[in-house]
Structures are given as structure tokens and as C-alpha cells.
Amino acid sequence: MIEISNLTKVFGSGDAATTVLDDVDFAVPAGEIFAVVGPSGAGKSTLAQCINLLERPTSGEVIVNGESLTRLDAAALRRARRRIGTVFQSANLLSRRTAAENVALPLDYLGVTKAQTRARVAELLDRVGLADQASKYPHQLSGGQRQRVGIARALALRPSVLLSDEATSGLDPRATDSFLSLLREVRDELDLAVVFITHEMDTIVKIADRVGRLDRGRIAEQGSVVDLLLDPGSELGAALRPSGSSSAAPVGLEQLLVTHNSVAVPADWLSRITGQLGTPISVLGGNVQDVDGVSVGQWTIAIAPDRVHDFTSAATPLGLYARPVDTDTTVAA
Ligand SMILES: Nc1ncnc2c1ncn2[C@@H]1O[C@H](COP(=O)(O)OP(=O)(O)OP(=O)(O)O)[C@@H](O)[C@H]1O
Ligand SMILES: [Mg+2]
């Protein structure tokens, strides 16, 4: 379990002071993946550095399994930091060390015997599927393999928290998916609390249980991924929802954006509404996907303007939320 409590980070002082993190609050229980998303410059990497105490927060606390790391002196902090394993973008491996030597790095500092280190490294590389790549140097590995070495190294000291900052950036879709499955597996096996920082919305939908949106240093919105996806009023939900392009509405018809607003939208909702209203409904675009067994998505449809009200009334009891598309900003649909 990791708790981030009223975390604030100010760089500089006086006139030059910039508040990069402003009262950030969230908690991630063991076994859960919490994603942090936000635009470039929102403070995501600063948050990562404050969580593993590479940067001292200006105020607020980082609490792991009930112990506040921010209150520890330097020696105690060095020990406590072992409870947080970190994977960075492009893994940050040392280029002059082999995969095995990179994984061994955190163990080297602990005074573990060579035999113990060798056994632990072999076990870790095997776990991430790289037993046969142990003696390769980082430049001889693919991007996806380097990130797997990064996970192995992050797990070397048996942490209870895994922190990942843009670890899938730059990976192709297959390497990303394989990284995400590995992350989910180790989360389950080791009951890790995972803080997963990314700017990729589709990655969040695939992996996270909950997500917080960081906006200019503040958590502007947070919640479970499914709840946000089903909330038509959520900005984060709208960004997470799979969106497809839609064609233009036929002349004279009104365009509506129809969003899943319930876990129980019947698969045949369109034919039900068409049957009930007895009027043609054109589907201009749509996208649905399964998230934790819940179907979420949205469609763009077109209908005669004098039937819009009837459509909305028929859609609501089926768990759908319909609103007119502002045709000037249709791209958002
Ligand atoms: N050491 C520092 N001193 C002063 N300002 C800093 C420092 N580190 C980061 N910042 C500022 O903090 C803000 C947030 O930076 P940060 O790297 O945390 O953003 P980010 O959300 O990770 O962005 P990206 O998506 O591009 O990685 C930026 O405006 C940056 O200039
Ligand atoms: Mg960053």
C-alpha cells in the first residue's frame, strides 16, 4: 500500500519559485494498478521522483505500508527506498553492463554474496522471460526486452510498490502489450501496489484499475477506470473512451453522440430503439470495448430532428446517454 498525502513540490524560491506539484493526494492498495495521466509538463516525472524520494517533496508525505518515508533520516531512507522498485522510460540500463549485471545492481549495494546474487538474478531474468539473454548488453536487446530487464531490476529487492514512469513510451504495440501482461502478472504474484505513469490513454484502459488526471500539478480528477468510462460528464472518461472517426450526417438529420452510461446496456439497443420509434437511425461511427467485463463505448448516430427527444427518452432506460453533437467539433466524437 502506498499513500501520497498532500504532496507539494516547489522548485526554486522567491520570485523564481514554481509549484510543480500542488497538494497531490491518492492511495494505492496492494494488488492495484493506479495510473497517473497528464499532458507534458503536468508534473508526472516530478511526482515519480518525489514518490521514490530521489527528490525531497517540499511538503506532504509518502507513506509505504503505514510508514512515512518523508520523515526518515538519510540512512533509514536508503533502506526504506528498497520497498519501491522503479522502471523508467527506456529502462535506464547501464550500457556497459550485461542484462544480468544490470539486474544485479541493486543487490551489489547490499553486500549479498556472489552466489546469492547469481541465483536471484537468474530467477528474476527467468521470471521476465529473458533467461537466455543474461549476457547480452542493452544495445543487443530490443526495446521491449530492455523494459523487461528494467522490471527484473526493479523487483530485485522484493519491493511492495512498483513505480513506472512512461515505461511503455517508444515501444511498439506488441512489446507494449507484452510489457503490460508481465506487469499484471508480477502485480498478482507479488501483491504489488503499482503506480503507472503514462500519457497513453489506451494503455490505461488496458491495465489500470483506477486513474488520476494530473493537471498543472494538481490531481484534477480520479476514479475507477470503469466508473470514469461510464460517466458522460467526466473529461477523463471522454479521453479514455475508445473514439472512432464518424462520417458526416446526411443532410437534414441531427447528429447525436450516444455514450454507455451503465454496465448493463443491451447489445441490441439500436434495434430496440428503432423498433420502438419506428424511424430510421443511421450509425455514423462507433467504438465499443470490454473493460473488466464491462462493455464501454460510444456511437455517433443521425436521426430526424423532430425525433431527437424520443430517441433520448428511449435511450436513457437502456443505460445510454445521448447528447447532440456540436457539428463544428465533431472530431471529438
Ligand atoms: N529540477 C527542476 N527545476 C525546476 N523546474 C523543474 C525541475 N524539474 C521539473 N521542473 C518543471 O516541472 C514541470 C513538470 O515537469 P515534469 O518533468 O514533471 O513533467 P511531465 O508531466 O513528466 O512531462 P512529460 O510528459 O513531458 O514527461 C515542468 O514545467 C518542468 O520544467
Ligand atoms: Mg515525464
Does the domain made of 241-332 have the CATH classification 3.30.70.260? Answer: yes
Ligand 1 centroid to residue 46 C-alpha, Å: 6
Ligand 2 centroid to residue 95 C-alpha, Å: 22
Ligand 2 centroid to residue 127 C-alpha, Å: 28
**Which of the ligands is closest to the CA of residue 54?**
1
Ligand 2 centroid to residue 44 C-alpha, Å: 5
pLDDT tens for each residue of the chain, 333 residues long: 999 999 999 999 999 999 999 999 999 999 999 999 999 999 999 999 999 999 999 999 999 999 999 989 989 998 889 999 999 887 789 999 999 999 999 998 787 899 999 999 999 999 999 999 999 999 999 999 999 999 999 999 999 999 999 999 989 999 999 999 999 999 999 999 999 999 999 899 999 999 999 999 999 999 999 999 999 889 999 899 877 677 887 888 999 999 998 888 998 999 999 999 999 999 999 888 888 888 888 899 999 999 999 999 999 999 999 998 865 544 443
Cα–Cα distance, 156 to 124 (Å, whole number): 7
**Which of the ligands is closest to the CA of residue 50?**
1
**Which of the ligands is closest to the CA of residue 40?**
1
Q: Ligand 1: does its nearest atom lie under 6 Å from the Cβ of 20? A: yes
Cα–Cα distance, 245 to 118 (Å, whole number): 52
* Cell numbers found for residue 252: 437534414
Cα–Cα distance, 246 to 33 (Å, whole number): 33
Q: Which of 84, 94, 89, 92 is nearest to 156 (CA)?
A: 84
Nearest CA to ligand 1 atom 6: 11
Strands 320-324 vs 254-260: parallel, antiparallel or unpaired: antiparallel
* Cell numbers found for residue 168: 511503455
What φ, ψ does residue 35 adopt, rounded to 5°? -95, 145
Q: Ligand 1: does its nearest atom lie under 6 Å from the Cβ of 43? A: yes
Return the ∠ at Cα 9 (arms to 41 and 13), rounded to 5°: 100
- Going from N- to C-terminal start, the domains of the chain cover 2-236, 241-332
Tell me the residue length of the chain: 333
Distance of CA 52 to the CA centre of its chain: 18
Confidence (pLDDT) at 131: 96
Confidence (pLDDT) at 116: 93
Confidence (pLDDT) at 40: 92
Q: In whole angstroms, how large is the CA radius of gyration of the chain?
A: 24
Q: Ligand 1: does its nearest atom lie under 6 Å from the Cβ of 58? A: no
CATH class of 2-236: alpha beta
The reply to whether 2-236 and 241-332 are identical in fold is no
Confidence (pLDDT) at 333: 37
Confidence (pLDDT) at 244: 67
